[in-house]
Structure 1
Amino acid sequence: MKLSSTTFGTSLFTLATASLLASGMALAEGKTYKIGAAVYGLKGQFMQNWVRELKQHPAVKDGRVQITVFDGNYDALTQNNQIETMVTQRYDAIIFVPIDTKAGVGAVARAQENDIPVIASNTKVASASVPYVGNDDVEGGRLQAQAMVDKLQGKGNVVIIQGPIGQSAQIDREKGEMEVLKKNPGIKVIEMKTANWSRAEALSLTEDWLNAHPNGGISGIIAQNDDMALGALQAVKSRGLSPSDVPVTSIDGMPDAIQAAKKGNITTFLQDAQAQSQGALDVALRTLAGKDYKPQSVIWERYAQDVKWGDGTDKLYILPWVPVTNANADALYQQVAGSK
């Protein structure tokens, strides 16, 4: 067969194009993804664990993902500015743990307009277009409130220590708490105020409340996270009271709280920081790498009965709450404090 110069030129062009495409595919396979994690703040134990576990994801450990963590310092404007920075610097994806469910919507939209996928983890963004990997905080609120109802046998005065006002975890946990408490009219909520997930703020707040309601005026304390529960517990003990006098219920399942629960000092429910952070990174990588991406975190096996990967494009990946009991406390402690 004789090739014309035009055909031959076309053949060379096709071969050259194929070679470039193959090279591009090889580069894509060897690509290092630059992913930012914008977290609301790093003072508390839970987010410290969340970040630690994110950095233990197999794709981070083998160098395929370069993670940069941005500390939002509990301020929505700071978080928005950090997302703008990631957009300007052309990050490949953003994992977002917002301090305020609504305040970050505009910054997230700008990231998406620039083809930078955003995955919410632990707390939600008020946007249906943002996938979420985390727990159902309404259910978490129900669990901790029901635990208090059971402790008090349906009668008494309780106080509620809230998370940062406007964060989805605060909003949803409170919704769940109120659902349960409204069904138990023998329990009255006599105080409710934020301590911003802070152990120190909760300690001070609880001391003030114990002064304002002396002589058994407070029957129980519902704290919307473990750090605040531990601050409240410290205030109770410093007053010469025992956890049986003023029970404390919480959620998070952090190492210190697991130890306290094992001693019977608080009641708590684990939300898995590893599953939230590593699960969000798997979803981000699926968005970037395409349908052939297989999730790499162990968490998909751990919660295989509760959370299905599917094809990695779902909008909600809801993780289960795990009650901390005497029977599982040691194993959960090793999982939370010892996973490397």
Structure 2
Amino acid sequence: MKTTRRFLMGAAAGLALAGMVFGGSSADAKTLKIAAIVQSLNTEYNVLWADAAKAHPALADGTATLTVLDGRQDVLTQSNLFDTAITEKYDAIIFIPVDIDAGNEPIERAKAAGIPVFGSNTMVSNTALYDAYINSNDVEAGEMLAKAVIDKAGPQAKVVILEGMLGQSAQVQRLEGIQKVLKENPGVTILEQNTANWSRAEAITLMENFLTSHGDAIQGVLAENDEMAVGAIEGIRNHGLDPKTVPVAGVDGIKDALEAVKRGEQSMSILQDANGQAQGAIDLALHKIVGDSYKPRAAVWDVNGGKLAWNDGKDQHYHVPWLAVTSENVDKVLVGN
């Protein structure tokens, strides 16, 4: 039977919610314990991240264990999970925060307890708190998706913007990139702008509301992630319009978005490398704990044939490159995913 991403997503969510540990036995004193506190396992990208983290070679050989803890898109839940990790004396924490500001204080508590914290994917506002962090440049992603839609819709286009959960770093920074491009294209009009909280279901409803208000005056959709892009496409279809006639762009590179690109219904999906961000974060954590004798094992690093410079693990911030997926390269990307 073919294993699908959606099957893996459900399996990973179930395991993480059960608090299962991946890797060697936690009873082994020589085995390092890492906790990953993620935003939510209800979004495909976060589950892809967790699944990639579980596949790190250091877990398979017993060097470390990884416990994935679901923050359920709630700042209080994430804060409580930090208390759990501190009480259970984890050797390191990898953090994907729900809120750019609310995530600062839990990191401070962990650091006070002597536990290093590493950022991945979304960030807190006080990045100096991290021992190191690895993500992709979300301002750049916002610029890319805005340019993709304007290139298709034209310099006088009327567009709508679907935002992620307000206060998350990806929402803040992708909007910054979008606004930068809009400033460079003063002829573009924003008809509507609202949050769909990274949710496909909310995006369907929001897009239908936009279309009820503006109809076919909407000439482009800027969605800050692919779940919302796919939802917007469904909303366009539900309204009786052909999605191929309304340029839509999103971020993450989830399978449904890539399939929409292949069908010509989504102009671009900007692939975010879940493997690079997740496994890169584990390498940074293990390097901190073990010391300079630790050699990184993720494929993203240049020392392992990737494009991201490891630089002996000395940098505090690492940017994993984006990949723009269009009709020209989508078949190749789908084969690789």
Name the TM-score, length of structure 1 as normaliser.
0.87
CA deviations 1:233-263 (Å, max 9, x no partner) are 0111122212332211111111111111122
Q: CA-atom RMSD, angstroms?
A: 1.7
Q: Spell out the pairing of 1:1-340 with structure 2 (5 A cutoff).
A: 31-127=30-126, 128-130=128-130, 131-214=132-215, 216-266=216-266, 267-301=268-302, 306-336=307-337
CA contact (8 A) 2:100 2:169 kept: yes
| CA distance in 2: counterparts of 1:189 and 1:325, whole angstroms | 24
Corresponding residue of 1:5: none
CA distance in 2, matches of 1:303, 1:245: 43
Larger Rg: 1
Alpha carbons 1:102, 1:125 under 8 Å: kept:
yes
Among all aligned residue pairs of Structure 1 and Structure 2, give the percentage whose two residues are the same amino acid: 44
Moved more, 150-159 or 92-101: 150-159
State the 1:125 CA deviation: 1.6
* 1:151-197 superposed Cα distances (whole Å, 9 cap, x missing partner): 11211211111011000000000000000011111111121111111
Give 1:135's aligned amino acid: S
The question of whether the paired residues in 2 share the 8 Å contact of 1:41 and 1:73 is answered with yes
Q: Secondary structure at the match of 1:110?
A: helix
Code of the aligned partner of 2:262 = K
The one-letter code of the counterpart of 2:136 is: N
Tell me by how many angstroms 1:35 deviates.
0.7
**Number of equivalences:** 307
Q: Secondary structure at the match of 1:326?
A: coil
Question: CA shift at 1:36, angstroms?
Answer: 0.6
Moved more, 319-328 or 55-64: 319-328
**CA displacement 1:120-169 (0-9 Å, x = unmatched):** 10001222131221100000000000111101121121111101100000
Unaligned runs of 5+ in 2: 1-27
- The separation in 2 between residues aligned to 1:303 and 1:291, in whole angstroms, is 17
* Secondary structure of 2:245 counterpart: coil
Give the CA deviation at 1:327. Answer: 4.1
1:298: how far off? 1.5
Quote how far apart the aligned CAs of 1:317 are.
Answer: 0.6
CA distance in 1, matches of 2:312, 2:157: 48
TM-score computed with the length of structure 2 as normaliser: 0.88
**8 A contact 1:287–1:313 mirrored in 2:** no
The change in CA–CA distance for 1:36 and 1:305 in structure 2 (over 3 A counts) is: closer
3-state SS in 2 of match to 1:191: strand
Per the TM alignment, residue 307 of structure 1 is displaced from its structure 2 partner at its CA by 1.7
Question: Does the 8 Å CA contact 1:283/1:313 hold for their aligned counterparts?
Answer: no
Q: Per the alignment, do residues 294 and 305 of structure 1 end up closer, same or farther by CA in structure 2, a change over 3 Å counting?
A: closer
Question: Which 4+ residue blocks in structure 1 deviate beyond 6 angstroms?
Answer: none
Conserved 8 A contact 1:303-1:319: no
Q: Distance in 1 between matches of 2:114 and 2:69?
A: 20
